[in-house]
């Protein structure tokens, strides 16, 4: 029996039927690392999955593509779909229906489920967000006592607003018991009412490492806090349930410290602008009052020149004396007010102490407050009242 030759299209269609009828290939899961990721203008996605020895081409239909997964080259996934062939090109590929980020698939589903639940309850609504105080006296930080987070926050606060008090509630930021630690920290500061702002956070990590900040108990504790909460969890691209519930989300712990603190240099600059504005306003007021008095004097002189009120010259002179005394009293009172305000402004200036002979030592951007902050050979800037001296440490 002679076998008929098949056209190329017939051969490819036959291969496609074989692949589609295979019970394993029609419902298969493939684990691999993404490469050649491309989002087509049509909305369809094309990529390859590879391991150490081989790769397979894949396609995701636009209706099955979840943008929240943030797929990119190098990310390891588990793809659920079926193997079929593209008849025109004569190549087979994996058509992906669902994707799990390897090691995070179940956690990510829990994250989405809880996020939808709390959002439906209104825990993310802007109407419940508390305003961050502009001039706090103290902030509470809930984080690990040994991580970089607390050091970053301390450095930023010292630079921007040195008078601010920082209270640390040390906690575990991942692993068993960490969620309870975070809740205890929030309850502690709310019970004692000894801080104006709470910063809760940790450094970056995987979804599993950040999971304590996705726990429902932590989210509800943040929402129920009477003290404004700034969430600073992970890096700028990391998002947790805590971020959505908090009153303010900071992309990094350093940014959280900047949000929580005013800049002392900006405050002093603003106060100086107010003082100059008050001085200008006072000068204009005095000038206006002088013009009014001069106008009255001119009118009085006209009356005198015309001899219309010769019998009241003395009375006019007394009025003039009263006006001059009243003006002198007004000027003296306003000048005293201005002096009091100027003294108040000077007391608020943290550098006014330099005028009394003290010196502020800095190593780079960091203030030197202890001999342990410097080492032999360090370059220091000594700030005096009228300038800066650069020096080198030669002896401790």
In this predicted model, what pLDDT tens digit does every residue of 47-60 receive, in sequence order?
999 988 889 999 99
Both 14 and 89 in one domain: the answer is yes
**H or E stretch at 268:** helix 264-305
Which range marks the domain in which residue 91 is found?
Answer: 8-102
Same domain as 22, residue 165: no
Task: Give the per-residue pLDDT at 222.
Answer: 94
Question: Which tens digit of pLDDT belongs to each residue from 6-19?
Answer: 888 888 888 888 88
Here the tokens at position 165 are 């008090």
> Same structural domain for residues 235 and 125?
yes
List the structure tokens of 350: 């943290």
pLDDT number for residue 224: 94
Phi, psi of 225 (to 5 degrees): -65, 135
Q: Which residues in the chain come in under a pLDDT of 50?
A: none
Q: What is the CATH number of the domain that holds 162?
A: 3.40.50.261
pLDDT at 191: 93
Give the domain-ending residue among 262, 290, 315.
262
pLDDT at residue 187, as a whole number: 95
Whether residue 52 is found in the same domain as residue 27: yes
Query: In whole angstroms, what is the distance from residue 217 CA to residue 267 CA?
Result: 39
Last residue of one domain, picked from the residues 262, 286, 302: 262
Q: Are residues 119 and 205 in the same domain?
A: yes
In this structure, the answer to whether residues 44 and 80 fall within a common structural domain is yes
Q: Report pLDDT for 184.
A: 95
| In a shared domain, residues 281 and 337 | yes
Residue range 94-106, pLDDT digits in tens? 999 998 877 656 6
- The verdict on pTM exceeding 0.85 is no
**What pLDDT does residue 103 have?**
60
Residues 115 and 256 in one domain: yes
Number of domains in the chain: 4
Same domain, 130 and 90: no
Task: Using the 3D structure, point to which of 72, 87, 102 is the last residue of a domain.
Answer: 102
| Phi and psi torsions of 343, nearest 5° | -65, -40
Same-domain status, 119 and 141: yes
Domain for residue 25, yes or no?
A: yes
| Residue 192 backbone dihedrals phi, psi, to 5 degrees | -85, -20
Q: Please tell me whether residues 234 and 123 are part of one structural domain.
A: yes
pLDDT (0 to 100) of residue 372: 85
């Amino acid at each position: 029996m002679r076998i008929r030759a098949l056209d190329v299209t017939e051969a490819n269609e036959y291969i496609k039927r074989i692949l589609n009828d295979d019970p394993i290939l029609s419902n298969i899961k493939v684990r691999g690392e993404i490469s050649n990721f491309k989002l087509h203008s049509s909305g369809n996605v094309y990529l390859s999955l590879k391991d150490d020895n081989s790769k397979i081409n894949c396609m995701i239909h636009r209706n099955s593509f979840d943008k929240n997964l943030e797929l990119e080259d190098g990310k390891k996934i588990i793809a659920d779909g079926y193997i079929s062939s593209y008849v025109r090109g004569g190549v087979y590929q994996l058509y992906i229906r669902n994707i799990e980020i390897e090691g995070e698939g179940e956690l990510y589903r829990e994250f989405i489920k809880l996020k939808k639940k709390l959002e439906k309850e209104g825990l993310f609504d802007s109407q419940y967000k508390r305003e961050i105080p502009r001039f706090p006296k103290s902030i509470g930080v809930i984080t690990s006592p040994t991580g970089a987070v607390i050091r970053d926050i301390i450095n930023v606060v010292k630079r921007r607003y040195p008078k601010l008090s920082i209270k640390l509630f040390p906690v575990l930021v991942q692993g068993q018991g960490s969620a309870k630690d975070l809740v205890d920290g929030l309850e502690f500061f709310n019970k004692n009412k000894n801080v104006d702002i709470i910063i809760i956070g940790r450094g970056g990590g995987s979804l599993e490492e950040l999971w304590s900040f996705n726990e429902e108990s932590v989210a509800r504790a943040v929402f129920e806090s009477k003290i404004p909460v700034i969430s600073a969890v992970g890096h700028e691209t990391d998002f947790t349930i805590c971020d959505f519930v908090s009153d303010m989300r900071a992309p990094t712990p350093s940014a959280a410290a900047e949000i929580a603190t005013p800049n002392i240099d900006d405050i002093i600059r603003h106060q100086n602008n107010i003082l100059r504005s008050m001085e200008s306003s006072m000068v204009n007021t005095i000038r206006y009052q002088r013009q009014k008095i001069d106008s009255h004097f001119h009118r009085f002189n006209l009356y005198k020149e015309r001899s219309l009120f010769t019998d009241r010259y003395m009375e006019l002179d007394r009025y003039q004396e009263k006006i001059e005394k009243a003006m002198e009293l007004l000027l003296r009172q306003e000048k005293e007010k201005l002096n009091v305000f100027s003294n108040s402004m000077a007391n608020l200036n943290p550098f006014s102490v330099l005028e009394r002979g003290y010196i502020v030592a800095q190593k780079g951007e960091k203030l030197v407050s202890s001999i342990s902050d410097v080492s032999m050979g360090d370059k220091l800037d000594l700030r005096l009242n009228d300038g800066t001296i650069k020096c080198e440490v030669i002896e401790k």
